[in-house]
Structure 1
């Protein structure tokens, strides 16, 4: 069974009579007779969907600084206008009305109101052009304080597809291997068919006969009277295959390297082996180093095997205590929830098994090729391969918040200086009417000059 939609494990899982199979998983080989044990509303996928909904609803939107002070601004301006009128009324009623009106004209809440949404809107538009889709401006604020970045393995750190990384043995066997593998539907068969370069084709008189799939082991068949078996290392014991010492040592090396060994036997003797793996993305190491340099802790949350996950973590310099393997979607959710209580937590994933964690994290990031439910749960969708989009998002977020703060400083400074000039009688209503739109224009100009997510920026 292909259980990757729930576990993230890239290699099929064998099942036998009495085993539990979940809705949403894919049968790869033999016909199955299954008994439904619960309604769809109580299935594993529905439970994960419920966790996603709960995670989204539990998020509290960050109240923007402008919204917090906007209400007070009007009250303060009205009070200052009253004080201006009262102060100047002792000298001249005409001057009192003139200066109070000047204050009401020149004081500009528009600049304060535009500072945040306009800067965020421009940043979101530029990020979208770089295939980084940010749903909410809250994301930029969350990314200011470094915390922990949790990465899913399959499809996020790795390519998400099995590839043949090495073949050792007689190349004359390859056409026969491909002929056998064409008879089955399986991720490993697909990898062999895609990556093994055939040195020739079987002749028209060569027929593949008696093809049998051995769930959890491999596949075997007969070509020109010879029995050819292709499968995992467990096939050696299953079919009592003889294997040479050099091949044994090579399979050992594959195992230590976190690779999966495949054996090819002819008439009971192993004559070739190959290694398959879900390859790490080329930019993964660079992206993780950049995250660490920026002060973030990086960890792996994966449903895959311990040896595979630990090997990936070691290759990328991730500490063993930050590497979690063979964990369920519910366990991922608990780890993310606990982490979120202590610090800013980012979850990066692509599958249904990541969706609840994406919704519960401070910022959930779905990566290129993700499942629909993960895109719904995430705050950000990076629609380009690799992990460097994450570092681009963080750099852009810092620049965007810096621009927002600059806009606030400019807007508040303008209002303080303008109010002082109006109250002291140094400007009249006409000058005030000219100055007022200039404050909004200055805020818009600064927002446009925001360096975040520019094409010429890293």
Structure 2
């Protein structure tokens, strides 16, 4: 069944059907399911604890973890003892929105939340301007110029105009505050709602009874201004958070809704099916501009694919007959037919989706600390406000209420709770676009502290396959040898073909006839004159020199002339430049490999790596990393093989190559999908910038509170100024973090 993009309370029971849950739920056994949900209405770190408390302790709930910055809930529950619809109703009962974490519903949830936020802001701002017009005469009139009757009439008008602000615009503050108090937890909305309520009640008392205990001064203008400023700040903050969510979501929401599968009838007929119904061996037609629904190979036609999801590279990648295509990449060239090889959870696309969801579900230690501190901090805020009101009641009773309201508003730690997660999420979105996916957001902090980079060799510093290193003898025959090598898929033959431009190979091709490949020897064929040529091992061509394992010889069988071809590992194109950048950033480099020491040292010299160790077993690699750590070094490990998994787990920070083994990727803190070693240096630079931005955010939040709390306590900051300062403080933190998206 299809899930509605916007679920009403009546629609919630539909989520209890397993088919409806398949898009956002994993079943990990008979008694355990893991559901990922998108939340709305969160404004601070304390909101996470309120939602968790609403769920934990409920029958069938195994655990509930909320990431407030990412607005996501990871819910582990027992389908035998609980219904998902009831658990979502609990979240909504706590005052927050909850939807399945699906692209369509999440997008609709964001749009609906933004529309409501804009309307509330519009009503508050419009009424604020009207109230300001009515309040203006009281500010500018001289003594005796404004009669008491006219002043009371203006106050009554302000009271009427403030009602929509109180009942509609400020409604979420009261709803959330009440839900938080019912749950026995304090959130940011409690002091805000309390401040708004106290200000309105006191102003109403002054309006109805100017000679009463609240005095004759009204502050409806401050009230409406405060609500407007706070809603404006939250709307801009909401836009910023949604922008980060869209960046991350766009990288994992590219599968088509329906796929054209070719039937086995042989007459070319096809049917439209869901991607989940595809099976290995199926033939699917992929039209121009559509996404590939599964991993497979081109079976008919040729095209180009946008694989930015996998590599961060925007340039289209040519795809010829037999070339591999991956799910989630876009078909940009022409319609093609693809033979499906991997579907569903086995595809590389799904691995990326799981990785990014796990990263967003994780709550770093800094975020957990903020959530633990938020509750006690808010209790302190309430006690401080009550104490200030008590003191001012003895100094100047007319100002006691306003001082308490200002203290309540100015001390809300919104900026403090957003300082770290907003920066980490912005940096994670930027890296995702470059093809660097973080499995743990703490990687950014750890990479900023490392001083040594340990690299694996094969598949990491070097690419898969070989490259032509040097030639000897009849060099004029190189293009002719490459034209013969084009008939083989041997690793050396492919390397030779790549070393010679296609036009030169075509021009040198004598029209080979009777091409035959002999296992363990090489290729032989006759040219247009009937002369027999061979490309293969030296002994096969009658050579007397000792055999070299990485060497081929090419020449005619009936002649003494020979072309010698020496092959070696192919260093990644940007390896030397990337290593130089790492050194410029103050990092030491070490090449650690199980390959022969001679080849390891040779490759390290070509790449510019400072130190190399060859012939290392997995135990040796682990011991070397442990030795570095014992000496006080912080290690970043980059690897790709199964034997790298223990080292990746032991290192202070770790990255796995995107094409590496699944075990290596599961043990790493992130995945270098792009395969570009230059992104390793970029990650280090961005991690240092992220740490700097976090410190700026924390410094700003601390400085703001240190400066404004005393002003509020001594009565120099009215409530509207406190609201403006609070909104601008949170907005500064979020906008400062968003700079990392363009780093």
CA drift of 1:117 comes to 1.3
Query: What is the RMSD computed on CA atoms of the aligned residues?
Result: 3.6
Instruction: Indicate which of 274, 277, 280 corresponds to 2:571.
Output: 280
Does the alignment pair 1:346 with 2:346? Answer: no
Change (3 A) 1:228 1:286: closer
In the alignment, which residue of structure 2 is the partner of 1:87? 391
In the alignment, which residue of structure 1 is the partner of 2:587? 296
CA drift of 1:406 comes to 0.8
Mapped to 1, the partners of 2:698 and 2:562 lie a distance apart of 72
Change (3 A) 1:69 1:242: same
- Are the counterparts in 1 of residues 366 and 420 from structure 2 also a CA contact under 8 Å? no
My pick for the range that moved more, 287-296 or 265-274, is: 265-274
In the alignment, which residue of structure 1 is the partner of 2:544? 242
My pick for the range that moved more, 98-107 or 401-410, is: 98-107
Instruction: Indicate which of 710, 713, 733 corresponds to 1:420.
Output: 710
Does the alignment pair 1:260 with 2:550? Answer: yes
Instruction: Indicate which of 602, 605, 610 corresponds to 1:311.
Output: 602
Q: Structure 2 matches for 1:52-67, cutoff 5 A?
A: 62-64=365-367, 66-67=370-371
In the alignment, which residue of structure 1 is the partner of 2:39? none
- Are the counterparts in 2 of residues 241 and 269 from structure 1 also a CA contact under 8 Å? no
- Are the counterparts in 2 of residues 141 and 401 from structure 1 also a CA contact under 8 Å? yes
- Spell out, residue by residue over 1:128-165, the C-alpha distance to the aligned partner (whole angstroms, 9 max, x if none): 22333233331221122232101112232223221223
Does the alignment pair 1:327 with 2:327? Answer: no
Mapped to 1, the partners of 2:440 and 2:473 lie a distance apart of 55
SS of alignment partner, residue 303 of structure 1: coil
Mapped to 2, the partners of 1:440 and 1:226 lie a distance apart of 78
CA drift of 1:393 comes to 1.0
Mark the runs of 5 or more structure 2 residues left unpaired by the alignment: 1-357
Does the alignment pair 1:164 with 2:468? Answer: yes
Mapped to 2, the partners of 1:285 and 1:227 lie a distance apart of 38
CA drift of 1:431 comes to 3.5
In the alignment, which residue of structure 1 is the partner of 2:651? 361
SS of alignment partner, residue 393 of structure 1: helix
In the alignment, which residue of structure 1 is the partner of 2:294? none
- Are the counterparts in 1 of residues 641 and 664 from structure 2 also a CA contact under 8 Å? yes
Change (3 A) 1:392 1:177: closer
- Are the counterparts in 1 of residues 407 and 713 from structure 2 also a CA contact under 8 Å? yes
Mapped to 1, the partners of 2:558 and 2:741 lie a distance apart of 60
- Are the counterparts in 1 of residues 622 and 650 from structure 2 also a CA contact under 8 Å? yes
Does the alignment pair 1:190 with 2:499? Answer: no
Mapped to 2, the partners of 1:222 and 1:125 lie a distance apart of 54
CA drift of 1:275 comes to 1.0
In the alignment, which residue of structure 2 is the partner of 1:103? 407
My pick for the range that moved more, 219-228 or 432-441, is: 219-228
In the alignment, which residue of structure 2 is the partner of 1:440? 730
- Spell out, residue by residue over 1:85-111, the C-alpha distance to the aligned partner (whole angstroms, 9 max, x if none): 343343355544442332112212111
- Are the counterparts in 2 of residues 396 and 453 from structure 1 also a CA contact under 8 Å? no
My pick for the range that moved more, 76-85 or 308-317, is: 76-85
My pick for the range that moved more, 259-268 or 85-94, is: 259-268
Mapped to 2, the partners of 1:269 and 1:355 lie a distance apart of 51
Change (3 A) 1:177 1:143: closer
Q: Bigger relative contact order, structure 1 or 2, given CA contacts below 8 A and separation 6+?
A: 1
SS of alignment partner, residue 381 of structure 1: strand
Mapped to 1, the partners of 2:424 and 2:481 lie a distance apart of 59
Does the alignment pair 1:122 with 2:426? Answer: yes
SS of alignment partner, residue 460 of structure 2: helix
Mapped to 2, the partners of 1:100 and 1:190 lie a distance apart of 77
SS of alignment partner, residue 143 of structure 1: helix
- Are the counterparts in 1 of residues 601 and 612 from structure 2 also a CA contact under 8 Å? yes
In the alignment, which residue of structure 1 is the partner of 2:80? none
In the alignment, which residue of structure 2 is the partner of 1:381? 671
Pick the structure with greater CA Rg: 2
- Are the counterparts in 2 of residues 366 and 380 from structure 1 also a CA contact under 8 Å? yes
In the alignment, which residue of structure 2 is the partner of 1:395? 685
CA drift of 1:343 comes to 2.9
SS of alignment partner, residue 463 of structure 2: strand
Change (3 A) 1:61 1:220: same
Mapped to 1, the partners of 2:511 and 2:471 lie a distance apart of 20
Change (3 A) 1:147 1:62: farther
SS of alignment partner, residue 444 of structure 1: helix
- Are the counterparts in 2 of residues 407 and 446 from structure 1 also a CA contact under 8 Å? yes
In the alignment, which residue of structure 2 is the partner of 1:230? 536
CA drift of 1:179 comes to 5.3
In the alignment, which residue of structure 2 is the partner of 1:16? none
- Spell out, residue by residue over 1:158-179, the C-alpha distance to the aligned partner (whole angstroms, 9 max, x if none): 2322122333334569767865
CA drift of 1:120 comes to 1.7
- Are the counterparts in 2 of residues 151 and 299 from structure 1 also a CA contact under 8 Å? yes
SS of alignment partner, residue 136 of structure 1: coil
- Are the counterparts in 1 of residues 481 and 554 from structure 2 also a CA contact under 8 Å? no
SS of alignment partner, residue 155 of structure 1: coil
Mapped to 1, the partners of 2:570 and 2:481 lie a distance apart of 26
Mapped to 2, the partners of 1:153 and 1:261 lie a distance apart of 21
Change (3 A) 1:140 1:181: closer
In the alignment, which residue of structure 2 is the partner of 1:19? none
SS of alignment partner, residue 144 of structure 1: helix
- Are the counterparts in 2 of residues 180 and 221 from structure 1 also a CA contact under 8 Å? no
Mapped to 2, the partners of 1:453 and 1:436 lie a distance apart of 24
- Spell out, residue by residue over 1:203-238, the C-alpha distance to the aligned partner (whole angstroms, 9 max, x if none): 54xx356x6434xxx44768679694722xxx55x9
Instruction: Indicate which of 688, 694, 705 corresponds to 1:404.
Output: 694
- Are the counterparts in 2 of residues 156 and 386 from structure 1 also a CA contact under 8 Å? no
SS of alignment partner, residue 715 of structure 2: coil
- Are the counterparts in 1 of residues 477 and 563 from structure 2 also a CA contact under 8 Å? no
